[in-house]
Copies of this chain bind each other. A is one copy, B any other.
Amino acid sequence: MRLTSKGRYAVMALVDLARFDGINPVSLRDISLRQGISLDYLEQIFSKLRKKEIVQSVRGTQGGYILNRKAKEIKLTNIFDAVDEKVKTVQCKKESKKGCNGKSTKCLTHNLWDELETHINNFFDKKSLDDLVKENLERRF
């Protein structure tokens, strides 16, 4: 089970952005430089974040991105969701009664993977962007 860079970068970038929340738009260029993430890649990521209304864009010179909701109300779940970093423990559709490889019934371990998925999502549901910023400041001093 690996966390992909896309998900990691998305959170990293948003934590960076959240630290300036309410002051000025933050340009991707700045985030790119500070966090060492490719600008082009960031643009892909923020395009998705904007579509899911996690951030708002400000175009033109001095533009950039700002949070579209309060940091406390942005959970990791929302972020991962926006960039399609899904937690997927099975291949088969959850709703379907069929099993993985087209079998007529769910496998021996199906329930286990459901539990696992829930367990991981719990973690993402609890953590908000605000938590992350605060934890980060604490560590700094």
Contact = CB atoms under 8 A, between A and B. Distances in A.
Q: Which 3 A-B pairs have the closest CB atoms?
A: A3-B89, A2-B88, A1-B87
Given A116-B123, A119-B120, A107 B12 contact: yes
Given A8-B90, A12-B108, A112-B127, A36 B2 contact: no
A135 B2 CA distance: 27
A91 interface: yes
Nearest to A102: B36
A123 to B, nearest CB: 5
A3 B3 contact: no
Contact of A3 (B7, B108, B116): B116
